[in-house]
Chain A
């Protein structure tokens, strides 16, 4: 993901709440501290399909907004 970001592609990492610090640390480690991090409700693992769809619904508009900002 970080390599794609370095090449100028629109990229983001989707994280659930408790993993924000890990995501930020990894972005710094791999040289892209500005890597967009899109938050969804924790947890993602061990939840029913409807809840997974709800997480996707949280992430989708954030990613769409990221793409729009990139196009402008």
Chain B
């Protein structure tokens, strides 16, 4: 169905004054925005956005909980316009939404929980450079249009299509600034290991989008360690905290190594698998660090906990991850002696989608989605 027909459907659009301030007031009053000014999703702008979509405009990519709203390209294009995306970013937005709608991501939980989590979007492959995404200095911070607006478009879709309205569908106690936008590209050029998408089985020249149900990052500052063992010891110490959800659920936390830390760790012979094994074996919390009530809950949640941990005394160490494979490792950021631990909601697992055209072929470029 073409755009003009779709826009004439009841509720698909409305007439408004061509006044940026009035439109922004209207959108914020209706609860359709994130509090920052939006770009009005006029028919013309939405049409330009859809110029980079090869799917039927009214066919849902997925359903976004808790409202279970149908994420059609038309609706997603409106969110992408509002976020400030350039049209060529739209294939990344679409694939991110497709990924977060997969059951194991648990978008219901990520959207509606009291926990301060959101969707972190990590982009791999050639499309990241094509879109001039930031994978270096300040990659999780402001300053790059693609990073900022792709992440924001995903969030606006979670709000406007998924119903993550604060206090009604998003019950976060605090929320997090990461809920405005949380998106970056992996720093593949300075990665001493295989990048995430290659580790997951994709060719290096395939572009992928991976979503994590993530908290904001917790920094790992280490200017002192000059060996891989030293750096990993400090990283494991950062993981070993009692308050993060990953201690309590079979989740998949993300470790983001800055390029300088990654180089030192790799130089000392650690593979990615070695890093995960180390963090699993050493990222542990003393049983005695947990309150009695928390120990009781763990016994109810995890049957082996009583025999293996609770009865072993306060010095018994509890792994934060259920296995080394639960850990995800990427390299990102610019110069500096910093890495990051990104805990997740807990009952959520990352999902990766390769950028593919509708005919099933891997896209080599965002231009592969261009219509006309």
Contact = CB atoms under 8 A, between A and B. Distances in A.
Interface string A46-64: 0000000000000000000
Of A19, A21, A26, which is in contact with the most chain B CB atoms at under 10 Å from its CB? Answer: A26
Interface residues of B, number: 10
A4 interface: no
A68 B169 CA distance: 32
Interface string A20-53: 0110011001000000000000000000000000
A41 B326 CA distance: 38
Nearest to B112: A22
Contacts of B167: 18, 21
B163 interface: yes
A22 B67 contact: no
Contacts of A25: 66-67, 163, 165, 168-169
Given A29-B66, A29-B67, A21 B168 contact: yes
Interface in A3-27: 18-19, 21-22, 25-26
Contacts of A26: 66
A22 B171 contact: yes
B278 interface: no
A22 B169 CA distance: 5
Contacts of A22: 66, 112, 168-169, 171
Contacts of B171: 18-19, 22
Nearest to A24: B168
Contacts of B66: 22, 25-26, 29
Interface string B170-211: 010000000000000000000000000000000000000000
A55 B112 CA distance: 23
A26 to B, nearest CB: 6
B270 interface: no
B68 interface: yes
A51 to B, nearest CB: 13
A55 to B, nearest CB: 17
Nearest to A30: B68
Nearest to A46: B293
A22 B113 CA distance: 11
A46 to B, nearest CB: 8
A19 to B, nearest CB: 7
A19 B68 CA distance: 18
B168 A29 contact: no
Nearest to B171: A22
A9 to B, nearest CB: 22
A21 B112 CA distance: 12
Contacts of B112: 22
A26 B163 CA distance: 10
A19 B173 CA distance: 12
Nearest to B167: A21
Nearest to A48: B293
A57 B147 CA distance: 51
A9 B289 CA distance: 46
Contacts of B68: 29
Contacts of B165: 21, 25
A19 B67 CA distance: 15
B294 to A, nearest CB: 10
B70 to A, nearest CB: 12
A35 B300 CA distance: 31
A19 B163 CA distance: 14
Nearest to A45: B114
B174 to A, nearest CB: 14
Nearest to A43: B114
Interface of A: 18-19, 21-22, 25-26, 29
13 contacts: A18-B167, A21-B165, A21-B167, A21-B168, A22-B66, A22-B168, A25-B67, A25-B163, A25-B165, A25-B168, A25-B169, A26-B66, A29-B67
Q: What 9 A-B pairs are tightest by C-beta distance, nearest first? A: A21-B168, A25-B168, A29-B67, A29-B68, A25-B169, A22-B168, A21-B167, A22-B171, A26-B66
Given A18-B167, A19-B171, 7 more contacts: A21-B165, A21-B167, A21-B168, A22-B112, A22-B168, A22-B169, A25-B169
